[in-house]
Amino acid sequence: MSQTAHIPSHRKPRRSASKLALRAGVAGGVLSTIAVAGAAGPANAEPVTETIEMPTLGSLGIDLSSAVAASAEASEQEALDQSLQAQETAALQKAAQEAKKAKAEADRKAEAERAEKARQAAEAKAEAERAAAEARASRDSDRTRLTSTSASDSSGSSDSSASKSDSSSESNQVASGSAASIVAFARAQVGDAYVMGGTGPNSWDCSGLVQAAYRAAGIDLPRISGDQSSRGTSVSLSNLQPGDILYWGSRSGSYHVAIYVGGGKYVGAQNPSTGVVERSLDWDTPSGAVRIL
């Protein structure tokens, strides 16, 4: 379908800039063609009325639609690219957070392992020091026994009789009341293992056993040997009664404790090699004793 160009005689609704430019170009071309045709004809020629074919609006609309579709497709592709980039950025941030969290957890576990190793090392050192102290005390006890034996050999028969009398009185000591409960509990644990920090029921350290034995009699004691030996009243080793607490070292700074059970014997959690044993005072003479009952 074609149409003849003409100049509109009345105002029409405003059109878009692209359509106005298109119409202006077509109109300009028509006017130019008419002007050239007029100039080329004779001066006395009759006016010629000429119909000029204009481009169809349908083809112009198709081109404009293609341009709009291409622009929309480009916008959609750009939006898709931005969405993909945002997803990649979010994934990278999430991965970084997870890596940071995993590193923090690994650092925490490593610190816990270091702390545990340090604790075990400290316990091993303390045990070694206590074993060394026990060994020194045992050697001192051996020397004391040798000295006592020599003195006993040179003493008179009256001294021997007195010693036998003292031994007889010790062997006749019988615990009663709370002391009986303490002694019975301590002797019931003989043969159990020695474990640093052990508080029963089948493994003990020295102060753990003493604390549990007194608890069986309804008496609360501190957990540490130095605190236990600081309680009660100090008594001499020649005036012991069943249930008394024996200590090695100074009274306020003892490194080992045990329970006197009568008859010149005590029960204590000695060390990892012996466990809980009942021994004579002569086997490892204590430094002193306290009475809680």
Residue 156 resides in a domain: no
The interaxial angle of helices 206-216 and 177-188, nearest 10 deg, is: 140
CATH code at position 265: 3.90.1720.10
- Residue 121 falls inside a structural domain: no
As for how many domains the chain has, the answer is 1
289: three-class secondary structure by DSSP? strand
279 strand-pairing partners: 266
The answer to whether residue 117 is domain-embedded is no
Higher per-residue pLDDT: 203 or 73: 203
- Could you tell me if residue 18 is inside a domain? no
Tokens of 70: 């291409």
- Residue 163 covered by a domain: no
**Could you tell me how many helices (H) and strands (E) the chain has, helices first?**
6, 8
Tell me the pLDDT band of 153, cut-offs 50, 70 and 90.
very low
What does DSSP say about strands 193-194 and 275-280: parallel, antiparallel, or unpaired? unpaired
22, part of any domain: no
| pLDDT band at residue 138 under the 50/70/90 scheme | low
* Amino acid at position 252, single letter: S
**Distance separating alpha carbons of residues 257 and 268, to the nearest angstrom:** 7
CA distance 279 to 261: 10
- Closest to 141 (Cα-Cα) out of 290, 281, 288, 240: 281
- pLDDT, residue 287, reads 96
- Residue-range definition of the domain harbouring residue 246: 176-293
Residue 109 — pLDDT band, cuts 50, 70, 90?
confident
pLDDT at 162: 41
Q: What is the pTM of this model?
A: 0.45
Residue 258, domain member (yes or no): yes
17 is a domain residue: no
